[in-house]
């Protein structure tokens, strides 16, 4: 039995039957990290020592006959833009390469309270800006299905770690597709919950009105277990919603009969790889055969989503990233003149090219002379895009689409063409602008590379997403296939 | 040559004395070792988020209502972006286009009578930290930052350009300070920086409708600095215009030592704050009932109180104004009046000896040892003729330092007034015999001589003689 290929709920059964111990499990995952991470390069910081202590505590609880949660002892990888008390948190940036937070993000506290162990901190595009992990200041994480290809981004490390068996589950963050696209590229389940469903406290901000933390898992059940642990109102995050606590596993029913699913035609045409489109159509047919009603629909303002996203996200980013100036923490360029000189040199040397590009774009969009034409207009268009979804959800319970127009692309292919890189987010960014929940679930392979199907739901209706994804999963076997490493 | 008039508008920052900061639960206490009143949130550490302190909103509404403002139903926060090391996030969370309150006013007294000064807006924002230099900012080899003050809540109160002289500007600030002190939301200590002031000033030929180009003056740490800088700037601007020049729109700083305003930055160098709605905070919907509850909890404000003193207590305008200048003084006055129904006498004592000794010893009313009850007892001793008004001052001074009751001091020191005719007659006769000159003067029609003789009797009795009785006895014998 290869422990590192099991899901959390399978492992939980073994733990409570005392067939394995949490310590063995964590050692097995750590051995797997040792075995494969030279090739995958998912981890920036490994925390095996701390994880083993946490695991032994869980074993003690189990041997004392105490009830433990389904995530007790389960090794989870954390995207390195989520703060961990006493563990280096870099956001994939040189400017924070020496930064250790004095507090943990709310999601980390919640996972630890559930008994989960922290396997380590995983790679990302610098400050979550990118779609390939190539913008990390440290190294590019590889796709476990083909190590010459990208794992997607920005949560590429989180997706690759789970796909490679180097963590059972992981946390990522999604601002324009940063959970769903790497989940699609790496063949795992990844979910961006509704904006406000999960606390952002402790998530190093990229674009505050779009950022959302969410889970990666090997199947839909684990995804639901992760949601159970991390969702809920947080008094430390004013934008977190005051929702009733719920058991997301209660939605795991193999039944989509009567559900009405819409497929936005704008997501199925331009630029979509025909093989990817075929797999999405096959998935539509599968769900139809299982009793759902599937129809084409429209999101008419889709063309404006990309510019709208890039204005809003970058405007917020230019402000959010202003605090990295070398004064209080992080890397400071020494030997500079006055304080403004120190700011400029620290930021010039500390940030990578893509981050600088986005800060400049956002600064430009917010300048007094441009505000009305760019930022304010983008806010208005955002309302229209949201309205598209509101209209669509009057007729459909869920929307279906590809996650990404293509499968994982070769490392280096799009690095010289940022616009081409941005275009690969076309199916995912509107979901962030509208604040809806979105999920990527494996729906097949093209040339040995996984493809994800995107499900988009009504705000706070993660339940219907999980139910549909679970039904699809129970009637397919894509999630049971593993990369050969 | 045209005559010029001055147009002034003020921006006043007031620190709110909530227990905790505006977006976290670090203490707002003044002082403390550098960087001890901080937490990850007010230090702006990566990943932290602000959460609005409800007390700050309540206090802002409280101040705004006292300044006759409209309270917004929908208000939001914005980020003001600029780089400066005393700001932990390199942006300040403030309110840009939808402040919590607008359209208020307060009244100042001018020679032409009361004048309404408009208050355009009142908004909430966070304070910054403080830079600590070795020597001056230009020569220091390095600077340190203390973030204790970062995140302390402020309200910024922006006046309309309704002030026409430096004196009016000072009056406005004093009035604003009094009102805010009444509401209890701030200490308003200019010297500790809990009330800070920037001024916008322009001049124009008398009779012109249009405003002239203005300059902004910063670094005004006292009313004196405000008045002096505005006088200087008025003269400077008039001189420039009279010489045929143009006023440059710029920010200037007040140099107290040189006694002049100096250019700080031009309009071109002004910050573009790149304001954007703060995405980490949700807009606030201000519940009307809450506003009414806060309105209901406001104390009687100085203006209303002053009117009441004039009407109900028949106090002169001047007395009423001074007594209501601070809430503490007015409260003290009213506690006395409740126990003793001669408001004018109470007022005289409070504005006289009481205030004099408070100022002399630099004592706040709260720390004063004389209770209203004790002051009233002293006044009753005068009324009953037990002591004279003159002796009362001696007794009061003793009460002020020892905190003892008036009766006890009078008894202990044997200060009881001599009202016994038989005891007084020999003293009066002795004085008359000893001052034939004065007696002769009086008889020659010089009324003033009587005063001298009364004084001599008082002197002989160490002030204990009942003045009325002395007068009576002297007249009988002259």
B94-109: pLDDT as tens digits: 999 999 999 999 999 8
Site from A81, A106, A325 to mutate, B interface, most B CB atoms within 10 angstroms:
A325
Cβ within 8 Å of residue A139, ≥6 positions away: A41, A123
Q: In chain B, what residues touch A324 (CB-CB under 8 Å)?
A: 46
Asked if residue B172 and residue B136 are part of one domain, the reply reads: yes
**Domain-terminating residue out of B370, B395, B413:** B413
Q: Cβ(B78)–Cβ(B97) under 8 Å?
A: yes
The maximal CA–CA distance of chain A, rounded, in angstroms, is 70
* CA–CA min distance A323, chain B (Å): 4
Q: In chain B, what residues touch A363 (CB-CB under 8 Å)?
A: 274
Record: contact B49-A103, CB cut-off 8 A: no
- What does the pLDDT average to over B119-126? 97
Record: contact B274-A103, CB cut-off 8 A: no
CB contact B79 to A (< 8 Å): yes
Would residue B146 count as lying in a domain? yes
| Residues in a beta bridge with B5 | B204
- What does the pLDDT average to over B363-386? 82
Instruction: Report the C-alpha gap between A276 and B264 in whole angstroms.
Output: 61
In terms of CA atoms, which chain B residue is nearest residue A312? B276
In terms of CA atoms, which chain A residue is nearest residue B23? A236
Tell me the three-class secondary structure of chain B, residue by residue: CCCEEEEEEEEEEEECCCCECCCCCCECCCCCCCCCCCCCCCCCCCCCCCCCCHHHHHHHHHHHHHCCCEECCEECCEEEECCCCCCCCCEEEECCCCCCEEEEEEEEEECCEEEEEEEEEEEEEECCCEEEECCCCCCCCCEEEECCCCCCEEEEEEECCCECCHHHHHHHHHHHHHHHHHHCCCCCCCCCCCEEEEEEEEEEECCCCCCCCCEEEEEECCHHHHHHHHHHHHHHHHHHHHCCCCCCCEEEEEECCCCEEEEEEECCCCCCCCCEECCCCCCEECCHHHHHHHHHHCCCCHHHHHHHHHHHHCCCHHHHHHHCCCHHHHHHHHHHHHHCCCHHHHHHHHHHHHHHHHHHHCCCHHHCCCCHHHHHHHHHHHHCCCCCHHHHHHHHHHHHHHCCCHHHHHHHHCCCCECCHHHHHHHHHHHHHHCHHHHHHHHCCCCHHHHHHHHHHHHHCCCCECHHHHHHHHHHHC
User: Which one of B52, B274, B275 has the shortest CB-CB distance to A363?
Assistant: B274
User: Which one of B47, B52, B280 has the shortest CB-CB distance to A204?
Assistant: B47
User: Which one of A103, A208, A363 has the shortest CB-CB distance to B279?
Assistant: A208
- Exposure string of B112-130, with b = 16+ CB inside 10 Å and e = fewer, is eeebebbbbbbbbbbbbbe
User: Which one of B43, B91, B275 has the shortest CB-CB distance to A322?
Assistant: B91
Residue B389: pLDDT over 80: no
Site from A90, A100, A210, A238 to mutate, B interface, most B CB atoms within 10 angstroms:
A238
Record: contact A103-B45, CB cut-off 8 A: yes
Residue A1: pLDDT over 70: no
**Domain-terminating residue out of B290, B323, B349:** B290
Would residue B295 count as lying in a domain? no
Residue B268: pLDDT over 80: no
Record: contact B47-A327, CB cut-off 8 A: no
A310-336: pLDDT as tens digits: 999 999 999 999 999 999 999 999 888
Cβ within 8 Å of residue B452, ≥6 positions away: B435, B438
User: Which one of B45, B274, B282 has the shortest CB-CB distance to A101?
Assistant: B45
Long-range contacts of A228-232 (CB under 8 A, 24+ apart): A228/A70, A229/A69, A229/A71, A229/A110, A229/A111, A229/A114, A229/A116, A230/A107, A230/A110, A230/A111, A230/A171, A230/A198, A230/A199, A231/A193, A231/A197, A231/A198, A231/A462, A232/A110, A232/A198, A232/A199
- What does the pLDDT average to over A120-137? 97
More confident residue, A184 or A245: A184
Q: Cβ(A181)–Cβ(A404) under 8 Å?
A: yes
Q: Which of residues 280-299 of B touch A (CB under 8 A)?
A: 280-282
Q: Cβ(A261)–Cβ(A396) under 8 Å?
A: yes
Asked if residue B351 and residue B450 are part of one domain, the reply reads: no
**Residue numbers of A annotated as active site:** 79, 154, 178
CA atoms within 13 A on the CB side of B459: 8
The two structure tokens encoding residue A220: 């839909």
Residue A420: pLDDT over 80: no
Asked if residue B271 and residue B208 are part of one domain, the reply reads: yes
* CA–CA min distance A50, chain B (Å): 23
Would residue B397 count as lying in a domain? yes
Report pLDDT for B264.
85
- What does the pLDDT average to over B326-353? 86
Burial of A239 (0-12, 13-18, 19+ CB in 10 A): buried
Record: contact B272-A368, CB cut-off 8 A: yes
Report pLDDT for B385.
75
Question: What is the helix (H) or strand (E) element at residue A276, kind and residue range?
Answer: helix A274-289
User: Which one of A96, A200, A339 has the shortest CB-CB distance to B49?
Assistant: A200
Report pLDDT for B57.
98
Q: Cβ(A130)–Cβ(A88) under 8 Å?
A: no
Helix-, strand-, coil-residue percentages of chain A, each rounded to 5:
45, 15, 40
Q: Cβ(B83)–Cβ(B90) under 8 Å?
A: yes
More confident residue, B379 or A307: A307
Asked if residue B428 and residue B346 are part of one domain, the reply reads: no
Asked if residue B445 and residue B341 are part of one domain, the reply reads: no
- What does the pLDDT average to over A369-378? 92
Would residue B196 count as lying in a domain? yes
Q: Which of A242-256, B240-254, B457-471 has the lowest mean pLDDT?
A: B457-471
Residue B137: pLDDT over 80: no
Q: What are phi and psi of B254, to 5 degrees?
A: -85, 125
Question: What is the helix (H) or strand (E) element at residue A355, kind and residue range?
Answer: helix A353-366
Instruction: Report the C-alpha gap between A189 and A159 in whole angstroms.
Output: 9
In terms of CA atoms, which chain A residue is nearest residue B88? A323
Residue A49 vs residues A46, A75, A106, B373: alpha-carbon distances, Å:
9, 12, 22, 72
Residue identified by tokens 């509850």 is B293
Q: In chain B, what residues touch A85 (CB-CB under 8 Å)?
A: none
Residue B161: pLDDT over 70: yes
Asked if residue B186 and residue B45 are part of one domain, the reply reads: yes
Record: contact B83-A340, CB cut-off 8 A: yes
* DSSP string of A31-54, one letter each residue: HHHHHHHHHH--EEEE-HHHHHHH
∠ at Cα A326 (A320, A328), nearest 5°? 85
Q: Kindly give the interhelix angle for B372-383 and B389-402, rounded to the nearest 10 degrees.
A: 160
Q: What mean pLDDT value characterizes chain B? A: 89
Would residue B53 count as lying in a domain? yes
Would residue B153 count as lying in a domain? yes
Asked if residue B332 and residue B203 are part of one domain, the reply reads: no
Record: contact B40-A103, CB cut-off 8 A: yes
Q: Nearest Cα to A450, choosing from A98, A44, A151? A: A151
Beta strand ranges found along A96-135 (DSSP E): 117-122
Record: contact B83-A96, CB cut-off 8 A: no
Cβ within 8 Å of residue A143, ≥6 positions away: A149, A150, A151, A152, A160, A163, A185, A186, A408, A449
Record: contact B279-A339, CB cut-off 8 A: no
CATH class (in words) of the domain with range A3-259+397-480? alpha beta
A208-233: pLDDT as tens digits: 999 999 999 999 999 999 999 999 99
Q: Cβ(A167)–Cβ(A119) under 8 Å?
A: yes
Asked if residue B258 and residue B313 are part of one domain, the reply reads: no
A5-15: pLDDT as tens digits: 999 999 999 99
Record: contact A204-B46, CB cut-off 8 A: yes
CB contact B77 to A (< 8 Å): no
B13-68: pLDDT as tens digits: 999 999 999 999 999 998 899 999 999 999 999 999 999 999 999 999 999 999 99
Report pLDDT for A222.
98
∠ at Cα A245 (A241, A249), nearest 5°? 120
Asked if residue B307 and residue B339 are part of one domain, the reply reads: yes
* CA–CA min distance B181, chain A (Å): 31
Report pLDDT for B269.
75
Rg (CA), chain B: 30
Report pLDDT for A16.
95
CA atoms within 13 A on the CB side of A385: 25
Q: Nearest Cα to A49, choosing from A86, A20, A12, A1? A: A86
Q: What are phi and psi of B456, to 5 degrees?
A: -65, -40
Report pLDDT for A85.
97
- What does the pLDDT average to over B434-449? 85
Percentage of chain A exceeding pLDDT 70: 100
Q: In chain A, what residues touch B43 (CB-CB under 8 Å)?
A: 328
Residue A250 pLDDT class (50, 70, 90 cuts): very high
* CA–CA min distance B90, chain A (Å): 5
CB contact B9 to A (< 8 Å): no
Record: contact B279-A366, CB cut-off 8 A: no
Q: Which of residues 253-282 of B touch A (CB under 8 A)?
A: 272-276, 279-282
Q: Cβ(B219)–Cβ(B233) under 8 Å?
A: no
Record: contact B282-A322, CB cut-off 8 A: no
* CA–CA min distance A229, chain B (Å): 20
CA atoms within 13 A on the CB side of A57: 14
Record: contact A323-B89, CB cut-off 8 A: yes
What's the domain range around B471?
421-477
Residue A76: pLDDT over 80: yes
Cβ within 8 Å of residue A460, ≥6 positions away: A194, A197, A241, A243, A437
ipTM of the complex: 0.96
Residue A265 pLDDT class (50, 70, 90 cuts): very high
- What does the pLDDT average to over A380-393? 97
Q: In chain A, what residues touch B89 (CB-CB under 8 Å)?
A: 322-323
**Domain-terminating residue out of B290, B319, B349:** B290
> Cα dihedral angle (A268, A271, A277, A278), rounded to 10 degrees?
130
Dihedral sign for Cα atoms in the order A48, A49, A50, A52: positive
A22-37: pLDDT as tens digits: 999 999 999 999 999 9
* DSSP string of A79-105, one letter each residue: ETTB-BTTB---TT-GGGTT---SS--
Record: contact A91-B46, CB cut-off 8 A: yes
The two structure tokens encoding residue A240: 């977190």
CB contact B131 to A (< 8 Å): no
Q: Nearest Cα to A175, choosing from A198, A142, A206? A: A206
Residue B278 pLDDT class (50, 70, 90 cuts): very high
Record: contact B46-A103, CB cut-off 8 A: no
Number of domains in chain B: 3
Tell me the three-class secondary structure of A149-203, residue by residue: ECCCCCCHHHHHHHHCCCCCEEEEEECCCCCHHHHHHHCCEEEECCCCCECCCCE
Question: How many residue pairs from chains A and B have C-beta atoms closer than 8 A?
Answer: 102
For chain B, how far is it from start to end, CA to CA, in angstroms? 70
Instruction: Report the C-alpha gap between A350 and A110 in whole angstroms.
Output: 32
- What does the pLDDT average to over A92-118? 97
Task: Count CB atoms within 10 A of the CB of residue A207.
Answer: 26
* CA–CA min distance B87, chain A (Å): 9
Q: Cβ(A429)–Cβ(A306) under 8 Å?
A: yes
CB contact B405 to A (< 8 Å): no
Residue A94: pLDDT over 80: yes
């Amino acid at each position: 039995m290869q422990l590192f290929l099991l899901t959390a709920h399978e492992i939980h059964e073994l733990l409570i039957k005392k067939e394995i111990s949490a310590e063995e499990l964590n050692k097995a995952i750590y051995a797997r990290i040792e075995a494969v991470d030279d090739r995958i390069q998912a981890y920036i910081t490994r925390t095996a020592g701390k994880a083993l202590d946490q695991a032994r505590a869980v074993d003690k609880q189990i041997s004392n006959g105490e009830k433990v949660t389904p995530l007790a002892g389960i090794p989870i990888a954390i995207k390195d833009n989520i703060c961990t008390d006493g563990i280096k948190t870099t956001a994939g940036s040189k400017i924070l390469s020496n930064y250790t937070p004095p507090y943990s993000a709310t999601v980390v506290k919640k996972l630890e309270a559930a008994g989960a162990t922290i396997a380590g901190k995983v790679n990302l595009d610098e400050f979550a800006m990118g779609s390939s992990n190539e913008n990390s200041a440290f190294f590019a994480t590889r796709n476990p299905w083909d190590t010459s290809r990208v794992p997607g981004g920005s949560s590429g490390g989180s997706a690759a770690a789970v796909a490679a068996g180097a963590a059972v589950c992981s946390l990522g963050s999604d601002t324009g597709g940063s959970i769903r696209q790497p989940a699609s590229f790496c063949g795992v389940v990844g979910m961006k919950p509704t904006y406000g469903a999960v606390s952002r406290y402790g998530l190093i901000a990229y674009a505050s009105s779009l950022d959302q933390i969410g889970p990666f898992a090997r199947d839909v059940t684990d995804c639901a277990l992760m949601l159970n642990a991390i969702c809920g109102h947080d008094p430390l995050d004013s934008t977190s919603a005051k929702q009733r606590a719920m058991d997301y596993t209660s939605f795991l029913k193999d039944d989509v009969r009567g559900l009405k699913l819409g497929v936005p035609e704008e997501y199925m045409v331009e630029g979509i790889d025909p093989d990817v489109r075929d797999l999405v159509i096959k998935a539509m047919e599968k769900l139809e055969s299982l009793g759902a009603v599937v129809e084409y629909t429209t999101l008419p303002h889709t063309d404006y989503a990309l510019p709208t996203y890039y204005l809003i996200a970058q405007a917020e980013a230019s402000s959010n990233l202003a605090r990295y100036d070398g004064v209080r923490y992080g890397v400071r360029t020494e030997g500079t003149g006055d304080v403004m000189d120190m700011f400029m040199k620290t930021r010039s040397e500390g940030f990578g090219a893509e981050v600088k590009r986005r800060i400049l774009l956002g600064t430009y969009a917010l300048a007094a002379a441009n505000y009305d034409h760019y930022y304010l207009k983008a806010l208005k268009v955002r309302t229209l895009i949201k309205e598209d979804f509101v209209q669509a959800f009057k007729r459909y319970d869920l929307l279906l689409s590809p996650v990404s127009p293509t499968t994982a692309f070769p490392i280096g292919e799009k690095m010289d063409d940022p616009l081409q890189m941005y275009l690969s987010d076309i199916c995912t960014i509107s979901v962030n602008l509208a604040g809806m929940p979105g999920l990527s679930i494996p729906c097949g392979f093209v040339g040995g590379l996984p493809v994800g199907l995107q499900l988009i739901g009504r705000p706070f209706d993660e339940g219907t997403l999980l139910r549909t994804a679970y039904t699809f999963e129970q009637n397919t076997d894509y999630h049971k296939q593993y990369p050969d490493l | 040559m045209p005559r010029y008039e001055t147009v002034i508008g003020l921006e006043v920052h007031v620190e709110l004395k909530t227990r905790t900061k505006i977006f976290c639960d670090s203490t707002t206490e003044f002082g403390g070792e550098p960087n001890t009143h901080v937490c990850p949130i007010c230090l702006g550490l990566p990943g932290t988020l602000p959460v609005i302190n409800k007390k700050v909103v309540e206090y802002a509404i409280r101040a705004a209502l006292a300044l006759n403002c409209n309270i917004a139903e929908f208000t939001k926060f914005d980020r003001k972006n600029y780089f400066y090391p005393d700001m932990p996030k390199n942006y300040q969370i403030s309110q840009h286009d939808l402040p919590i309150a607008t359209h208020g006013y307060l009244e100042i007294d001018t020679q032409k009578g009361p004048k309404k000064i408009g208050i355009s807006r009142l908004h909430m924002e966070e304070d910054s930290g403080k830079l600590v230099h070795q020597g001056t900012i230009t020569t220091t080899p390095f600077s340190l930052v203390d973030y204790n003050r970062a995140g302390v809540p402020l309200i910024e109160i922006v006046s309309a350009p309704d002030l026409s002289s430096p004196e009016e500007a000072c009056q406005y600030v004093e009035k604003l300070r009094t009102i805010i002190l009444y509401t209890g939301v701030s200490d308003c200590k200019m010297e500790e920086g809990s009330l800070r002031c920037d001024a916008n000033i322009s001049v124009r030929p008398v009779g012109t409708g249009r405003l002239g180009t203005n300059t902004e003056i910063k670094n005004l740490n006292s009313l004196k600095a405000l008045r002096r800088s505005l006088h200087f700037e008025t003269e400077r601007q008039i001189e420039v215009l009279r010489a045929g020049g143009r006023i440059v729109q710029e920010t200037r700083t007040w140099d107290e030592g040189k006694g002049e305003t100096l250019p700080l930055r031009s309009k071109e160098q002004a910050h573009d704050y790149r304001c954007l709605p703060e995405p980490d905070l949700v807009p606030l919907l201000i519940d009307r009932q809450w506003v009414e509850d806060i309105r209901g909890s406001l104390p009687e404000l100085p203006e209303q109180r002053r009117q009441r003193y004039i009407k109900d207590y028949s106090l002169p305008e001047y007395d009423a104004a001074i007594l209501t200048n601070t809430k503490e003084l007015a409260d003290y006055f009213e506690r006395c009046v409740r126990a003793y129904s001669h408001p004018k006498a109470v007022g005289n004592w409070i504005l006289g000896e009481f205030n004099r000794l408070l100022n002399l010893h630099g004592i706040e009313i709260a720390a004063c040892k004389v209770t209203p009850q004790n002051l009233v007892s002293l006044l009753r001793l005068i009324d009953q003729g037990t002591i004279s008004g003159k002796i009362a001052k001696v007794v009061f001074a003793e009460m002020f330092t020892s905190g003892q009751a008036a009766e006890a001091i009078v008894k202990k020191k044997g200060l009881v007034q001599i009202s016994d005719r038989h005891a007084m007659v020999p003293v009066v006769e002795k004085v008359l015999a000893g001052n034939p000159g004065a007696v002769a003067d009086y008889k020659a029609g010089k009324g003033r001589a009587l005063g001298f003789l009364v004084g001599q009797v008082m002197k002989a009795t160490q002030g204990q003689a009942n003045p009325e009785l002395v007068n009576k006895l002297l007249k009988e014998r002259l």
